[in-house]
Amino acid sequence: MIRTVPTGPIAGQRPGTSGLRKKVPIFQASHYVENFVQSIFDAVKLPAGATLVVGGDGRFFNRECVQTVLKMAAANGIGRVILGQGGIMSTPAVSNMIRSRRAAGGIILSASHNPGGPEGDFGIKYNVGNGGPAPEKVTEAIFERSEAITAFRIWDGADLDIDSVGETRLGGMVVEIVDPVADYAALMQTLFDFDRIRALFASGFSMRYDAMSAVTGPYAKAILEGTLGAARGTVVNGMPLPDFGGNHPDPNLKYARSLFELAMSREAPDLCAASDGDGDRNLIIGRGLFVTPSDSLALLAANAHLAPGYAQGLAGIARSMPTSGAADRVAARHGIRLYETPTGWKFFGNLLDAGLATLCGEESAGTGSNHVREKDGLWAVLLWLNILAVRRQGVAEIVRAHWAEYGRTFYARHDYEEIDADGAAAMIGALRARLPDLKGQRFGVSEVEAADDFAYHDPVDGSYSEHQGLRLIFSGGSRLVYRLSGTGTAGATLRVYLERFEPDPARHDEETGAVLGELAALSRSLAEIERFTGRKQPSVVT
């Protein structure tokens, strides 16, 4: 039976860079999930009988939230829900499922790389029919609806068994429970040369893949150990846990510390890799060498033709503005277009749909291609494996050769987490106001050649997005970028992105911290970070 339940707006249900993301207790509050999910259904107005894909990263509250979403879908005229078994499906796998099954959209339950558990984070994200995150006009419509909501509709009945593969019904709606891995694994097989990767592993190539007790465990075990013949035990932390084993499922040098230490040790395998909570990010570390995501994008772009799915070459490369310029030089050398977009994967969707870009990447460990409309952690690992299998060189060797050919961009991101939101906004405001004066000023050996507040004109739909980060470009190829995070759940997070281009191979082995030291000091003094935020140093450097 369908029930209509009166309700009223709950403040703050505005989806951010990647959906609505809050602490678990907020989601557990009365009508919180129901209001937001109803706002989605009201705003996107799916045709009666539409198909919806639903999956989550398995974090705390995933299972309860799946039940609510199913019951509300049944009460809102959805014809079929395709649900990952146990409520689990990685973000790129949801994207693929929406596309391959021609679903109208999908609901992803995840807070990505944020910690989980009863006091951790949770999130709900809506993806549209191309498989990608809802564009801003859709998320705005959802938010507006949430501010005017008066009732939600829900199927009144017992919880559904979500653990058995097969079809069941909820009222008039079919619930199709699927193995979340199978279709995704099949897609990977169409893109990469699995025989060559199998031969690579058979030749003794060693790898450690850390699934961080998050969603990619089952995918990595099936593909790497199952199909490609990687040694058993290659995948560690391969069981998705509601609290990610108490860890932060963010594959960076801070939270994947043990993997990093292994890669730097004498026992290092040929490749260390990891993915995040919902499986869209990636970390790549060769023996003794961490590959920055910005470099990884450039390297993958330069070598993608070695994989069957990209043998025809790339239509173009897209990177988010704060991502380093390393990929730009690959694009220039190959004579293809480079698109610079605001932070957030949703800005790549139009470029991919229009066939303007083939590979996309962000400095925040996100890389992907036109195979889905999300970034894809395991895909990036498989593309690396395909390249290694063809070139038969080590990761570090390939990276150094790349730097020698294209020059090296030293890169770091400084995060000032959980700072006071007003102070952060005041700091950005003050710096924005000074941008015109900064142009032409000299700091040490370099001069500010350009200073602006990044704005983006989407070449496909003409939409315009402004205030996407403050950029200072210095002579000699250095750059500073300041922006506030759109995904945090407590206070504000200031991100400062630093880069310096170094063409001279004799200097490519210098230490990043040392190379960027002067720029880092300048980043703090220029924006008066301490005065506005009370912080002398960033809380995380990646």
Using CB under 6 A, list all residues that contact ligand G1P. Answer: 17-18, 112, 320, 343-345, 362, 364, 366, 485-487, 495
Instruction: Please choose which of Zn ion, ligand G1P, none residue 250 contacts, taking the beta carbon within 5 to 8 angstroms, the exact cut-off set by kind.
Output: none
Other residues' Cβ atoms within 10 Å of the Cβ of residue 128: 19
**At residue 111, what are phi and psi to the nearest 5 degrees?**
-120, 35
Residues 277-316 that bind Zn ion (CB under 5 A): 278, 280
Which residue, 35 or 370, is less far from ligand G1P as judged by CB? 370
Binding mask 111-150 for Zn ion (x = CB under 5 A): -x--------------------------------------
Task: Using the rule CB under 5 A, give the single segment among 70-78, 233-241, 270-278, 441-449 that binds Zn ion.
Answer: 270-278
Binding Zn ion by CB under 5 A: which of 276, 362, 376, 458? 276
Closest residue by beta carbon to Zn ion: 112
- 180, 93 Cβ separation under 8 angstroms: yes
Catalytic status, residue 30 = no
Residue count, binding to Zn ion (CB under 5 A): 4
DSSP string, 269-292: -SEEEEE-TTS-BEEEEETTEEE-
Candidates 90, 112, 364, 485; catalytic one: 112
- 361, 319 Cβ separation under 8 angstroms: yes
Helix %, strand %, coil % of the chain (to 5): 35, 25, 35
Q: State the Cα–Cα distance between residues 212 and 255, nearest whole angstrom.
A: 9
Residues ≥6 apart with Cβ < 8 Å to 487 = 16, 17, 18, 21, 112, 114
* CB of 269 vs ligand G1P, minimal distance in Å: 27
Instruction: Please choose which of Zn ion, ligand G1P, none residue 495 contacts, taking the beta carbon within 5 to 8 angstroms, the exact cut-off set by kind.
Output: ligand G1P
* CB of 364 vs ligand G1P, minimal distance in Å: 4
Instruction: Please choose which of Zn ion, ligand G1P, none residue 487 contacts, taking the beta carbon within 5 to 8 angstroms, the exact cut-off set by kind.
Output: ligand G1P
Instruction: Please choose which of Zn ion, ligand G1P, none residue 278 contacts, taking the beta carbon within 5 to 8 angstroms, the exact cut-off set by kind.
Output: Zn ion
Residues ≥6 apart with Cβ < 8 Å to 506 = none
Phi-psi map region of 506: left, alpha, beta (phi>0 left; psi -120 to 50 alpha)? alpha
Instruction: Please choose which of ligand G1P, Zn ion, none residue 364 contacts, taking the beta carbon within 5 to 8 angstroms, the exact cut-off set by kind.
Output: ligand G1P
* CB of 87 vs Zn ion, minimal distance in Å: 17
Which residue, 112 or 478, is less far from ligand G1P as judged by CB? 112
Closest residue by beta carbon to ligand G1P: 485
Which residue, 215 or 427, is less far from Zn ion as judged by CB? 215
- 531, 404 Cβ separation under 8 angstroms: no
Which residue, 51 or 409, is less far from ligand G1P as judged by CB? 409
In the block, residue with structure tokens 């909501």: 149
Helix locations, 76-204, DSSP H = 91-100, 136-146, 182-191, 194-202
Q: What single letter denotes the amino acid at residue 469?
A: G
Residues lying near Zn ion in the complex (CB under 5 A) = 112, 276, 278, 280
Residues assigned a catalytic role: 112
